Copies of this chain bind each other. A is one copy, B any other.
Amino acid sequence: MDVTIAIDCMGGDFGPSVTLPAVSRFLQNDERAGAILVGLPAEVEPAVSAAKSRFGGRLQFQPASEVVNMDDPLATALRVKKDSSMRVAIDLVKEGRAQAAVSAGNTGALMAIARFVLKTLPGIDRPAIATILPTLRGHTYVLDLGANVDCEPQHLLQFGIMADMLVSAVEHKERPSVGLLNIGEEDIKGNEVVKQAGELLRQSGLNFYGNVEGDDIYKGTTDIVVCDGFVGNVLLKTSEGLARMLATFLREEFSRNPFRKLAGLIALPALNAFRNRVDPRRYNGASLLGLRGIVVKSHGSADQLAFAQAIERAAEEARNRLVERITERMARNVAQTALQ
């Protein structure tokens, strides 16, 4: 075993009914990896015992006595439920028993607990959340997605540096291009924070492409798109909403009458190929960046395939020493700044 992933089995809309089979799928596909399943003994332990014969020492169980609910206030998740499955999974990373943690639970709680337990890396003011979106050319990493509102220019710079390390680590792409999300109106060219962030990024040594606009994301103009967490959250959720509306309309048009239904059957291979190509499950797993440990957040509504994808992402990041890379890069950055 080269990496062990701590899994919060209780999180997400479906809990163990999705997370347990997802872990099994992951361990089957990745024979070098191990997993520690964290959850309420009654709901998780029997499944672990049953699968022991199959995965042996690669599969372990770690009990937790409570669960962070989606509507728990942050203070409850952080200060009251100290033995939650989410907390225990992150504790395992802190203790070095696991190299990464994955959870489909409440994003705000996960970030707060991860930040509290693991702490941020030197030189990072605020951890960020990064996700992958499909594009015309492949895919693009976008951050921040909501962990940080009211960002200052240096935060956007740090997001760029962390994403640069993420992409070079997991995509094995040296010097990925970084775009700064902005708007194109001639007279304005973005707000003050973005203008100043552009200056910092230009001087950063990153492969800074310059400003990009909203439509550049899905064009795939750059490997990375950096933005404030408010804007990132809005653009992600707007995209989800638009995709869902278009899927609904398409389905409706192919079921309007018997002829259309027949046409839909004949068109099924093309429609399925289309759907697979933009299947959000393939892009599941948002990375919490800037912490002294790897944490990946799965979409709450993830199914087995999607949750397994998030675990794979965590394993990739751990194998490619993402935390060490960001640490080294930030140390170099601090040294550079000190020399200036």
Contacts and interface: CB of A to CB of B under 8 A. Distances in A.
Interface of A: 73-74, 106-109, 111-112, 134-136, 146-147, 149-150, 181, 183-188, 190-192, 194, 213-219, 227, 229-231, 233-246, 248-250, 253-254, 256, 259-260, 263-264, 266-267, 269-271, 273-274, 277-278
- Give the number of copies in the complex: 2
A112 B266 CA distance: 53
A282 B226 CA distance: 33
A93 B187 CA distance: 24
Given A112-B187, A263-B266, A267-B270, 9 more contacts: A135-B245, A149-B188, A150-B192, A183-B230, A214-B236, A217-B238, A218-B242, A218-B245, A239-B242
A17 to B, nearest CB: 25
A68 B227 CA distance: 32
Given A186-B106, A233-B183, A270 B263 contact: yes
Contacts of A239: 214, 238-239, 242
Contacts of A260: 269-270
Q: Which 4 A-B pairs have the closest CB atoms?
A: A214-B237, A215-B241, A214-B238, A218-B241
